[in-house]
Structure 1
């Protein structure tokens, strides 16, 4: 099938056309696997939520990395990677242009491939930082440890806190609570994984809007891209790691999958909950 008369080289609709990009159409929304992605993403009963999300985010980055490698393949005709500064002078997707902060913390526009390389370096740095993703989650740091009756003083003796209500939840009696606290993750952990997810979303948006046709359609890999992306979105929605603002460039495809029952219902829906048999609803909340 030829796409040249139907749309641009990226698979998007031509200017003035009412037809959506190819990747927003039902006939191109197929996946390479069948099954319930919500069950695949749900937290196992005996796994602490921070540990599960840490594992899941790392796995999602591994899948995205494979898709990024596809757009870095060198084109035999040009001798340049498929995604290069000439083809993609900015990191953009469907009218959205993403900027990077320079050394003076000022937003600047840079080529998409440069942006993606910086994102990869930044994410790998986060994942490999034991202060953010501790390798020994069985050892909770002293700074995070508290007693129900008070907090640890420098000398190690419990110090009394102010009066509390007997009806207060245990987590409140024990001091501040946060996602992954019991497994040794820092208080910033939820914010960190949400930031990682936001940057990965931008990479997926650019891959679709800039490279769906070349190379994914041309090499017959668009179903693999769809499968990685639906799994990414499913986890993000299920655990409130990403909001509608971030997913806007890809919302038509997300809505299409949602209508087929392949993704969780919209936020606020009574049906919007992980499978109970796999560990119950997530504790994390969107910010």
Structure 2
């Protein structure tokens, strides 16, 4: 992702959110470093996403949720100036798909312009990953029972950001020469969420052809396991 980082260097106004980090010395920090080292080593994505021997699945999900949150923030920061109320009056994934916003405070789903949806989404995810009761930062604090469901909800919504970027804003990504880096990030995301069944098959429908080209047979795993 260095090319995207280079684009944002010195352009802090386009960094959508500050990076969430794990405390040094925590079990999560060690797992995060392991995952990053494996990615840099160029391992096959199907092997990269597998749970390391002896590690806790919730810990593995936690470090990936935070990592994907940071990466999606970075990607959206690159194209945020092109995603406006005028250009994107709906949070959509093409003509057939529109995403409505709801959370614990506003339980009735509402239609929002894409930039407002994005702001609400990132605020909501930050509130979750910064809440130690829902997202423990050390291995001696147990994960809540609903943690896998929370991860699934976060990752499902981040998938919708990928969909919106690919369908509505990929031209700026290409013009900036960053398509290979976005593709790599999306491939990592798809391999991870399909490995642990964290995004439903139907959620990939708007971007099914692109996803199948980048990650052959991965989303089919979700259909096979329905």
TM-score range, shorter chain: 0.7 to 0.9
Query: How many residue pairs end up in the alignment?
Result: 185
Q: By how many angstroms is 1:268 displaced? A: 7.1
Residue of structure 2 in register with 1:164 after alignment:
none
Residue of structure 2 in register with 1:36 after alignment:
44
> Is 2:150 the partner of 1:192?
yes
Contact 2:200 2:222 in 1 (8 A): no
**Residue 247 (structure 1) aligned to one of 198, 204, 207:** 204
Alignment of 1:81-96 (within 5 A): 81-94=81-94, 95-96=96-97
Q: By how many angstroms is 1:264 displaced? A: 7.3
Distance (whole Å) between structure 1 residues aligned to residue 68 and residue 201 of structure 2 = 19
Higher relative contact order (CA 8 A, sep 6+): 1
Distance (whole Å) between structure 2 residues aligned to residue 115 and residue 258 of structure 1 = 27
Superposition TM-score, scaled by structure 1 size:
0.60
Alignment of 1:4-153 (within 5 A): 35-72=43-80, 81-94=81-94, 95-101=96-102, 105-139=107-141
Contact 2:156 2:199 in 1 (8 A): yes
Q: By how many angstroms is 1:202 displaced? A: 0.8
Cα distance, 1:116–1:226 mapped onto 2, change above 3 Å: same
Distance (whole Å) between structure 2 residues aligned to residue 264 and residue 248 of structure 1 = 10
- Provide the alpha-carbon RMSD of the alignment: 2.4
Structure 2: 5+ residue stretches without partners: 1-40
Q: Which runs of 4+ in 1 moved over 6 A?
A: none
Residue of structure 2 in register with 1:28 after alignment:
none
Superposition TM-score, scaled by structure 2 size:
0.75
Structure 1: 5+ residue stretches without partners: 1-32, 73-80, 140-183, 273-285
Contact 1:37 1:234 in 2 (8 A): yes
Q: By how many angstroms is 1:125 displaced? A: 0.7
- Structure with greater Cα Rg: 1
Distance (whole Å) between structure 2 residues aligned to residue 247 and residue 200 of structure 1 = 12
